[in-house]
Structure 1
Amino acid sequence: MTVWCLGSVNADHVYRLPHLPAPGETLAAHDYARGLGGKGTNMAVAAARAGARVELIGRIGPDGGWMRDRIAGYGVGIAHLAEGDGPSGHAIIYVDAAGENQITIFPGANREIALAQVEAALGGAAAGDIFVTQNETSLQREAADLARANGLRVIYAAAPFEAEAVAAMLDVTDMLVLNAVEAAQLEEATGIAPGDLPVGDVVITRGAEGVRWIDTNTGKTRDFPAVRVDPVDTVGAGDTFTGYLMAGLDSGADMAGAITLAARAAALKVTRRGAADAVPTRAEVEGWQPS
Structure 2
Amino acid sequence: MSILNFGSLNIDHVYHVDHFVRPGETISAGRLEYFSGGKGLNQSIALAKAGADVYHAGKIGTDGKKLEEILANDGVHTDYIEMTNGVNGHALIQVVPSGQNNIIIYGGSNHEITETYVDQVLENFGEDDLVLMQNEISCINYIARQCAKRKIKIALNPSPISKELLDTFPFELVSLFFINEIEGRELSKTENTDEILDSLIKMYPNSAFVFTLGHNGVIYKDKNDTFTHGIYNVKVVDTTAAGDTFTGYFLACYAAGEPIPDCLLKASVASSLAVSKPGASPSIPLMEEVLEAKSTLEYVEFQK
TM normalised by structure 2 equals 0.90
The Cα of 1:149 is off from its aligned counterpart by 2.3
Does residue 271 (structure 1) correspond to residue 276 (structure 2)? The answer is yes
Shift of residue 202 of structure 1? 1.1
Contact kept, 8 Å, 2:130 with 2:154, in 1: the verdict is: yes
| Unaligned segments of structure 1, at least 5 residues | none
Partners of 1:2 and 1:143 in 2: CA distance: 17
Q: Provide the C-alpha distance between the structure 2 equivalents of 1:130 and 1:203, rounded to a whole number of angstroms.
A: 16
Aligned pair count reads: 289
1:234 is aligned to 2:235: no
Q: 1:212 aligns with which of 214, 219, 235?
A: 219
Q: Is the 8 A contact 1:269 1:278 kept in 2?
A: yes
Q: Cα distance, 1:189 vs. partner? A: 7.9
Partner of 2:200: 194
Give the residue type in structure 1 aligned to 2:252. Answer: A
Deviation per residue, 1:251-271 (Å, 9 max, x gap):
221222212211111111000
Q: C-alpha offsets along residues 29-86 of structure 1, whole Å, 9 cap, x if unaligned?
A: 1111100000011111100111011111100111111111111111111111111111
Partner of 1:56: 56
Number of the residue aligned with 1:102: 102
* Partners of 2:288 and 2:216 in 1: CA distance: 25
Q: Which amino acid aligns with 1:174?
A: S
- 3-state SS, counterpart of residue 94 of structure 1: strand
Task: Quote the residue 2:10 is aligned against.
Answer: 10
Q: Which has the higher mean CA deviation after the structures are superposed, 30-39 or 220-229?
A: 220-229
Amino acid at match of 1:181: I
- Deviation per CA, 1:133-172, whole angstroms, max 9, x where unpaired? 0100011121122222223221000100114314513111
Distance 1:154 1:22 in 2: 39
Q: Is the 8 A contact 2:228 2:261 kept in 1?
A: no
179-188 vs 150-159, greater mean Cα deviation: 179-188
Partners of 1:251 and 1:213 lie apart in 2 by 17
Show the counterpart of 1:253. Answer: 258
- Alpha-carbon separation, structure 2, partners of 1:142 and 1:19: 40
Alignment correspondent of 1:27: 27
Cα shift readout 1:3-52 (whole Å, capped 9, x = no counterpart): 10000000000011112222222221111110000001111110011101
Q: 1:151 to 1:254 in 2, by over 3 A?
A: farther
Matched residue, 1:154: 154
**How far off is 1:228 after superposition?**
2.0
Unaligned runs of 5+ in 2: 299-304
The match for 2:302 is none
Deviations 1:219-246 (A, max 9, x none): x433211122221100011111111111
Equivalent runs, 1:68-217 vs 2, <5 Å? 68-167=68-167, 168-188=169-189, 193-198=199-204, 199-215=206-222, 217=223
Larger displacement relative to structure 2 (60-69 or 115-124): 115-124
Are the aligned partners of 1:157 and 1:177 in contact in 2 as well (CA < 8 Å)?
Answer: yes
Q: Do 1:208 and 1:226's aligned partners in 2 also have CA atoms closer than 8 Å?
A: yes
RMSD: 1.8
CA distance in 2, matches of 1:195, 1:221: 11
- 2-structure distance, mates of 1:222, 1:156: 19
Counterpart Cα distance in 1 of 2:243 and 2:13: 19
